[in-house]
Chains A and B, each alone.
Chain A
């Protein structure tokens, strides 16, 4: 087993994990604090990708594209919160699931109307187009490395905010006991709006960074959303730490599984059988992992509520 190949795939796994974390952090906080299931979180991811792509083409500058894309995603997120989600805070999970499902249909179709159904190609920013030689013989795309760094930076930033600031204290308290926080006189509406806005920006960031790596197409949000759910179930609802650990685990397991399960199986059973079973098993890997974690720890690894 060529170790450079393994290391590359490991880095790819971390990169996927970091993308998942950005999505999971926002979603788990919204779920933990506002008790809101928001399936349309994936749509914000998609909106981030599309808006950045469009803005970059329009202004000719990647940086401007990023800024406009993030601002646009924040705006869309706020609009969704005010128009739809406000009416859902008091409803049960089933209603929230169904309503946000309707939002998904809407956004996917809207995006198709504006930019067509075919997948678009997002340009790599000129400064990040090359490869980096990590150690002898291995070259890794600079862009992916940049994604990893941004993700880890955000993770540290979030850690700082959540554990060291007043706002973070409110967030942790809210995730652990919502009614108590409201009873203490905290402006709950404002807290909700801030948390949701945070989550929207993170999702948009994940989307715009993912653009050049995966394809930009209608429905891209839902593909990643289910993996995000797996992350949250494994990590525990309401916990940012759980989101990070869960995301890295899922990202690495999924990537390594897809890369190495088929050849590994091929050396154990016949290559033709491995050809069929390999990809099938690889795609099921993270769900099996989720089932195992749940059997041992039904509330996830780091549940926010004791």
Chain B
């Protein structure tokens, strides 16, 4: 346990020190990159809650990334630029949609659940494409960043970086407490042996639905952050390819572990950056790499450092 805390402390210090160091050596590109990684890590942490700990293979998690981003974009389109309002809407809308999708999907299991979550996300994607008023297929430009008058200016890349870092750490801590609480125990028990969980008196459905909604809401927040990061919102954010990416971040890092999703996000996106620098057709290399990692690399990166939480 102690080693874990030490490793976390080192990692956090490194992340905190990054902007001043990078500015000093004139490599500000990395501030942007790591900020993007941390924002997507929040999405991965949220998926880990339902996938890693809850055993629910939701192939449609990117939907909430899109909902959160579009909440910011659409509100901004109509002149509402208050960050508080935008982000609250992002979280609230994602939670509601997660509730609707979850209520229908969680009654199924196994392969049906995978296909249904995929199908519902695709439905939202098509909805996004068909709304011409918000750019349709091409997406929409964010006119201005979310405004948090007086508190922080997201237009300042370094301030935004620290906001992302803080929120990522908050998300990690929140999920950590959640999965170790009584609520989390039931969720994990249902994943470990569902029949047994029922036999001792637990009905998994309400716990799973609650986790699903929480995960959706958290991912919506990530979406709001992402919109501010890229200043451009496309329906592709909700595509299943994006969902697959997030799943890989969770799996690569090691499911059902606290650091796993963060490690996985860093690993995947850094590999992507390296490959992109090498060739325009980087996916032809990434694809087989992912296949190999699934076949040979079962426990993920976190499994190399320590055993996953019992």
Contact = CB atoms under 8 A, between A and B. Distances in A.
B119 A230 contact: yes
B59 interface: yes
Contacts of B131: 276, 280
A99 B127 contact: no
A105 B247 CA distance: 14
A98 B108 contact: no
A202 B283 CA distance: 27
A105 B290 contact: yes
A88 B281 CA distance: 26
A283 B107 contact: no
Interface string B93-128: 000000000001001101110111011101100110
Nearest to B127: A280
A194 interface: no
Contact of B295 (A88, A104, A284, A294): A88
Interface in A62-121: 84, 87-88, 91, 93-95, 97-99, 101-110, 112-113
A8 interface: no
A229 interface: yes
A290 interface: yes
Nearest to A284: B123
Interface residues of B, number: 42
A278 to B, nearest CB: 9
Given A97-B57, A109-B281, A102 B119 contact: no
Contact of A290 (B107, B119, B130, B286): B119
A93 B119 contact: no
Nearest to A31: B111
Contacts of A294: 104, 107-108, 112, 116
Contacts of B248: 98, 101
B289 interface: yes
Contacts of B200: none
B291 interface: yes
B291 A279 contact: no
Contact of B123 (A31, A222, A279, A283): A283
B244 interface: yes
A186 interface: no
Contacts of A107: 287
Contacts of A203: none
Nearest to A299: B112
Nearest to A290: B119
B132 interface: yes
Interface string A257-301: 000000000000000000010011001100100110011001000
Contact of A295 (B104, B111, B240): B104
Nearest to A100: B291
Contacts of B118: 226, 229
Given A276-B131, A283-B126, A287-B122, A98 B244 contact: yes
27 contacts: A87-B295, A88-B295, A93-B111, A94-B57, A97-B247, A99-B295, A101-B290, A103-B291, A105-B283, A105-B286, A105-B290, A106-B283, A112-B281, A113-B284, A226-B122, A229-B119, A233-B112, A233-B115, A233-B119, A276-B131, A280-B130, A280-B131, A287-B123, A291-B104, A294-B108, A298-B107, A298-B108
Given A105-B284, A283-B130, 18 more contacts: A84-B291, A91-B294, A93-B110, A93-B111, A93-B114, A98-B247, A101-B290, A102-B286, A102-B291, A105-B287, A105-B290, A109-B284, A226-B118, A233-B115, A283-B123, A284-B126, A291-B104, A298-B112
Interface of A: 31, 37, 84, 87-88, 91, 93-95, 97-99, 101-110, 112-113, 222, 226, 229-230, 232-233, 237, 276, 279-280, 283-284, 287, 290-291, 294-295, 298
Closest 7 CB pairs of A and B: A106-B287, A102-B290, A105-B287, A283-B126, A109-B284, A102-B291, A109-B283
